[in-house]
Chain A
Amino acid sequence: EVQLVESGGGLVQPGGSLRLSCAASGIVFSTYAINWVRQAPGKGLEWVSGISGSGYNTNYADSVKGRFTISRDNSENTLFLQMNNLRAEDTAVYYCAKGMRELLDPDYFQHWGQGTLVTVSS
């Protein structure tokens, strides 16, 4: 059974930093691209970032480019999202989502974690 478990969310002040993790099990982790998708309170889904199975290729939404960094440790089956210079509009539940492909090719998301809440507020 595929499991994705996020952690690391919490309350942070504007301008602060936070690092999210997503631990995967039940898959050969390095053979799948993984993405972060967020959902602001009461709002829809927004793709944030993606990383290829090898970790060599990454993509970011314009709204987070230059502030967020996605990475992965394939030896630990874990995905990360380093979030710096956080803003109030980054407040959301952050989901990790696994697609079907190894590369950052067009893809849909077959498996999702349960999400971790990030609140940016003073």
Chain B
Amino acid sequence: DIQMTQSPSTLSASVGDRVTITCRASQSINTWLAWYQQKPGKAPKLLMYEASSLESGVPSRFSGSGSGTEFTLTISSLQPDDFATYYCQQYHSYSPGWTFGQGTKVEIK
């Protein structure tokens, strides 16, 4: 099974900060990684796919990088609308199923 581990679990930041979230896979997944944003009581929203491709309509302050086992999601200048929980998901191997990281909550400092 492929395990996905995110760090940190919680991140306190201020508006305007540069924020980086890390996702590590237990084995290589090439670039088959997606990132989602979820706000309380809402469904997840796709932000990035194939590790670094920005989903249509997502602000350009979001960027993704990485390959193999280590990946990052970066928000270049944190905005009030960005306070949420972020999840990574691998879709390289049926593990079984498509596994998610445990989530990173970005909260107001």
Contact = CB atoms under 8 A, between A and B. Distances in A.
Closest A-B pairs by Cβ, 9 of them: A108-B34, A112-B43, A47-B97, A106-B91, A45-B100, A44-B103, A108-B49, A47-B98, A44-B102
B98 A46 contact: no
A59 to B, nearest CB: 7
Interface residues of A, number: 22
A27 interface: no
5 contacts: A44-B87, A44-B102, A61-B97, A108-B49, A113-B43
Given A44-B87, A45-B87, A107 B43 contact: no
A45 B49 CA distance: 17
Nearest to A112: B43
Contact of B91 (A48, A108, A113, A115): A108
A95 interface: yes
Interface residues of B, number: 25
Interface of A: 35, 44-48, 50, 59-62, 95, 104, 106-110, 112-115
Nearest to B97: A47
B25 to A, nearest CB: 13
B102 A106 contact: no
Given A108-B34, A112-B45, A61 B96 contact: yes
A102 B94 CA distance: 16
A34 to B, nearest CB: 13
B3 interface: no
A44 B100 contact: yes
Contacts of A61: 96-97
Contacts of B100: 44-47
A61 B36 CA distance: 21
Contacts of B49: 108
Nearest to B6: A44
A26 to B, nearest CB: 15
B99 interface: yes
Interface string B74-109: 000000000000010101111011111111000000
A45 B44 contact: yes
A60 B97 CA distance: 7
B87 A114 contact: no
